[in-house]
A and B are shown apart, each in its own frame.
Chain A
Amino acid sequence: MQSTEINRPREPQSRQIPPPWLGTLRLTLLTLAGALALTTLALLSSGVSPLQAYRILIFGAFSSPSRFSDMIMLAAPLLLCATGLTLTFRSGLYNLGVEGQLALGAVAAMLPLRLLPELPVPLLWTLCFACAAAGGALWALLAAGLRLYAGVSEIFAGLGLNFLASGLALYLVLGPWRRSGSASMSGTELLPRDLWLPTIGTLRLAPLAPIVALAALAVVWWALQQTRWGLELRAVGLNAEAADRLGVPAHRRIAQAMAACGLLAGMAGAIQILGVFHQLIPNISSGVGLLGLLAALLVRADPCRVLPVSVVFASFTVGSVQLPLALGVDSSIAGVLQGALVLFALLARGLVSKPR
């Protein structure tokens, strides 16, 4: 069963018998070396100086206040998704439906904005986040229900529900919620300015977004590491049947983990609506859920390390915007680096654990 071990989120300390930091160091070095080698190869093949490209990719997002704000506004929903996914990974689930949960959260966030626009703005924001959380959680529970009661793998249930959620967003954008007099996939009418989350000066940084994300991370870390509930969740992830026999309500924990992940993804959807796009667009998730999956995979669902990885991934993405301008290389190289990191992290884990 070697192959399954590679991919599987599990307790970091359970594997390494020699000094644990040595294993971690080897893993990290292997991962970085592999990912950099692959990305460098891609850069060299397009005739670009890898050093300059890396400088932009890694530090680009920190080179001006406006880029830094954009990085934060991408990192916040990313962190929410990745945080949620640590819960599902820890309970042994691959919640691929996170994209759809985010999209449904975004759709749900639009409901109070459209139905009760006359409410006081802070109340409206609260309602938005509440609806988004409920929408995301509901969507995740659907996948959990299919998993628990119909035997459908949550991977495929999630995938199917992703299509359904983006279909719903599309339908709303082109149908009932379209701009007056037009029908375009480009999105609904922009929200009135006073409904946008307040930003710092002329920057696009809305402080509420990172605050919500960090608070969510703290709660999840606490719940996973410090509570009996978290212990049970991890037990279910290690062996659901054994946990069940030992008196852990495994089904309930699985459903709770999914719902919590959906709730956080839904809140990420509310941030996309209120803080980033200020309208509903068909691709409202903009791949943040998928990136969150990569981030969670890279750190083996360790809530302590989800934050730095989310920031790093967001920096790559924001930094890469300058690549075509500065070096004439396509910005999708950021995706290559992100993907390569995850791939080599998985590979390195496989290699390091093999000799046992």
Chain B
Amino acid sequence: MRPSPHRLLALLFAVALLGACSQAPAAPPTTAPAAAPPTTAPAPEEYVFGMVLVGPTNDGGWNQAHFEGAKYVETKVPGTRLIYIDKVNPADRPNVQVEQAIEELISQGAKFIITNSAEFADGTNVAAAAHPEVYFLHASGDAVLRGVAPPNVTNLMGRMEYGKMMAGCTAALQSEAGKIAYLGPLIDPETRRLVNSTYLGAKYCWETYRGKPADSLTFKVTWIGFWFNIPGVTLDPTRVATDFINEGYDVIVSGIDTTEGIVETNKASQAGKRVWAVPYDYREACTQGEAVCLGVPFFNWGPRYAEIIADARAGKFTPQWEWIGPDWSDINNLETSMIGFVKGPALTAENAATLDEFIRKLADGSLNLFTGPLNYQDGTVFVPAGQVADDKTIWYTEQLLEGIEGQSAP
């Protein structure tokens, strides 16, 4: 059994293949943390806060929105300094768990830690219990609501449901085919309620402003299995987006952390197709495809982060479960509004005006789309006729709504 040259070649080839497969090329190179000079002892009045991000800080989506929120804190709360570890996920950093990342940040002097993914729920609570002297904010989590969080953990989430209703409405206003596709991440209560909100917005605007029956609107969701592409593990969002377009869907609403939806739509548009995209999460996501962008619902984490961190620094940390909506007097005010919607260049002026009217109705409370009768996909009642869903019912949405094509994973 002497290895022969072709066996060696085979080995080298196999190793190369293995290496190629086990790498995750998804994440673009991360910029160096500008605010983290080589370990020096923090100045006496300096308050170091850390952030653990599930994806890269420049993903044009969820993680970039958080990262810019943290940078905002640095500018608004004097004496604070951000340190962070990004790409904490099993594909990019297979041997790093969130607790480890948190401990690295604490060892660098962080007194306050923000974790930004639903996947970090357990790890955040474990680390918080081990470090009672440090405060934690788990974004998008609900451990405080469920009563399982240590006392030094708080939860924060934005009511993106409104942003998604606007996204759905925009899609329905502009769609020519009446076929809207939703590029979904993984399935959990959060992603279900966001898909439902998009559908409710789309259905309302389709019926009310387009004057067409609800059953002439096709709304389909395909889940890729994670918040962003992990080659070989998730469905490839690029592929899913292309399939949507080939199946005749002319608006792709994105629910994933990254920008494949708008990027692929832009390519298809350049190839002559009449298609549009609604990206997600990050205020400037439209820049990935101006020509097809109808608008983007975005998170503006900065202002609330700044308040919570300033409070913690002043010794006034209060653990709570917060779910904050837009500042309805000006949803795009970056100093005050947690949720906003930037209209894209591809949205027609007429549709933009209609969208403004829709937003006005949401703002003054005359329109609540979570009003019954609303049924789940399997026909069970989500909200009975004449009633309005309360926060908990919406937060813990169990299924997609009747009328949506796609998997609910109940």
A positions within 8 Å CB-CB of B = 1, 3-4, 7-8, 52, 64, 66-67, 70, 74, 91-94, 96, 99, 153, 155-156, 159, 162, 166, 170, 174, 178, 181-186, 190, 202, 204, 236-241, 250, 254, 276-277, 281-283, 286-288, 290, 293, 317-318, 321-322, 324-331
Given contacts A155-B7, A286-B94, contact A321 B100 (CB under 8 A): yes
A74 to B96, CA, bound (A): 10
- For A186, list chain B residues within 8 Å (CB): 90, 119, 186, 226
Which residue of B has the minimal Cβ distance to A174? B225
Which residue of B has the minimal Cβ distance to A331? B93
Given contacts A74-B95, A286-B94, contact A96 B5 (CB under 8 A): no
- For A330, list chain B residues within 8 Å (CB): 29-30
- For A185, list chain B residues within 8 Å (CB): 186, 225-226, 230, 233-234
Check if A318 sits within 8 Å of B95, measured CB to CB: yes
User: In the assembled complex, how far is the CB of residue B71 from the closest CB belonging to chain A, in whole angstroms?
Assistant: 16
User: Quick check: which of B101-109, B153-161, B300-308 contacts chain A, the rest being far away?
Assistant: B101-109
User: In the assembled complex, how far is the CB of residue B157 from the closest CB belonging to chain A, in whole angstroms?
Assistant: 17
- Beyond the given A290-B22, A330-B29, could you list 14 further A-B residue pairs with CB under 8 A, ordered by the A residue number? A4-B8, A74-B95, A96-B11, A155-B10, A155-B11, A182-B189, A184-B188, A185-B226, A186-B90, A186-B119, A287-B94, A322-B104, A326-B108, A328-B36
A324 to B32, CA, bound (A): 7
- For B32, list chain A residues within 8 Å (CB): 324, 328-329
Q: Looking at B18, B130, B225, B234, which has the most chain A CB atoms within 10 Å of its CB?
A: B18
- For A162, list chain B residues within 8 Å (CB): 18
- For A99, list chain B residues within 8 Å (CB): 18
A239 to B1, CA, bound (A): 5
- For B18, list chain A residues within 8 Å (CB): 96, 99, 159, 162, 290
* 8 A Cβ contacts from B74-129 to A: 83, 85-86, 90-91, 93-97, 99-101, 103-105, 107-108, 119, 122
Check if A325 sits within 8 Å of B22, measured CB to CB: no
- For B22, list chain A residues within 8 Å (CB): 287, 290
* 8 A Cβ contacts from B231-248 to A: 232-234
The range of chain B's interface size is: 35 or more
Check if B95 sits within 8 Å of A317, measured CB to CB: yes
Q: Looking at A3, A162, A170, A182, which has the most chain B CB atoms within 10 Å of its CB?
A: A182
Partner of A153, one of B7, B108, B186: B7
Check if B99 sits within 8 Å of A204, measured CB to CB: yes
Given contacts A66-B103, A287-B95, A325-B104, contact A1 B5 (CB under 8 A): yes
- For A52, list chain B residues within 8 Å (CB): 38
Partner of B225, one of A183, A239, A290, A293: A183
- For B5, list chain A residues within 8 Å (CB): 1, 3-4
A330 to B56, CA, bound (A): 12
Check if A283 sits within 8 Å of B90, measured CB to CB: yes
Check if B234 sits within 8 Å of A94, measured CB to CB: no
Q: Determine if B409 is an interface residue (Cβ-Cβ < 8 Å).
A: yes
Check if A328 sits within 8 Å of B189, measured CB to CB: no
Given contacts A156-B14, A162-B18, contact A182 B3 (CB under 8 A): no
Check if A326 sits within 8 Å of B91, measured CB to CB: no
Query: B interface, by DSSP: helix, strand, loop or mixed?
Result: loop
B positions within 8 Å CB-CB of A = 1-5, 7-8, 10-11, 14-15, 17-19, 22, 29-30, 32-33, 36, 38-39, 83, 85-86, 90-91, 93-97, 99-101, 103-105, 107-108, 119, 122, 130, 186-189, 223, 225-226, 230, 232-234, 398, 407, 409-410
Smallest CB-CB A-B distances: 6 pairs:
A328-B32, A240-B1, A286-B94, A184-B186, A92-B1, A183-B187
Check if B223 sits within 8 Å of A183, measured CB to CB: yes
A155 to B18, CA, bound (A): 11
Check if A324 sits within 8 Å of B38, measured CB to CB: no
- For B39, list chain A residues within 8 Å (CB): 326
Given contacts A190-B122, A277-B97, A326-B39, contact A184 B225 (CB under 8 A): yes
- For A288, list chain B residues within 8 Å (CB): 95
Given contacts A94-B11, A185-B230, A283-B94, contact A178 B17 (CB under 8 A): no
Check if A283 sits within 8 Å of B226, measured CB to CB: no
- For A250, list chain B residues within 8 Å (CB): 1
A308 to B17, CA, bound (A): 28
Partner of B33, one of A1, A277, A328: A328
Which residue of B has the minimal Cβ distance to A2? B5
A and B contact pairs by CB, cutoff 8 A, 14 listed: A3-B5, A3-B8, A7-B3, A64-B107, A93-B1, A96-B11, A155-B14, A181-B189, A182-B189, A183-B186, A184-B119, A184-B186, A185-B186, A238-B2
User: In the assembled complex, how far is the CB of residue A197 from the closest CB belonging to chain B, in whole angstroms?
Assistant: 15
Check if B226 sits within 8 Å of A327, measured CB to CB: no
Check if B186 sits within 8 Å of A4, measured CB to CB: no
Check if B11 sits within 8 Å of A7, measured CB to CB: yes
- For B95, list chain A residues within 8 Å (CB): 74, 286-288, 317-318
A64 to B103, CA, bound (A): 10
Partner of B90, one of A4, A64, A282, A322: A282
User: In the assembled complex, how far is the CB of residue A29 from the closest CB belonging to chain B, in whole angstroms?
Assistant: 25
Check if B3 sits within 8 Å of A4, measured CB to CB: yes
- For A184, list chain B residues within 8 Å (CB): 119, 186-188, 225-226
Which residue of A has the minimal Cβ distance to B33? A328
- For B97, list chain A residues within 8 Å (CB): 276-277
A293 to B398, CA, bound (A): 45
User: In the assembled complex, how far is the CB of residue B24 from the closest CB belonging to chain A, in whole angstroms?
Assistant: 9
Check if A283 sits within 8 Å of B233, measured CB to CB: yes
Check if A181 sits within 8 Å of B100, measured CB to CB: no
A3 to B10, CA, bound (A): 13
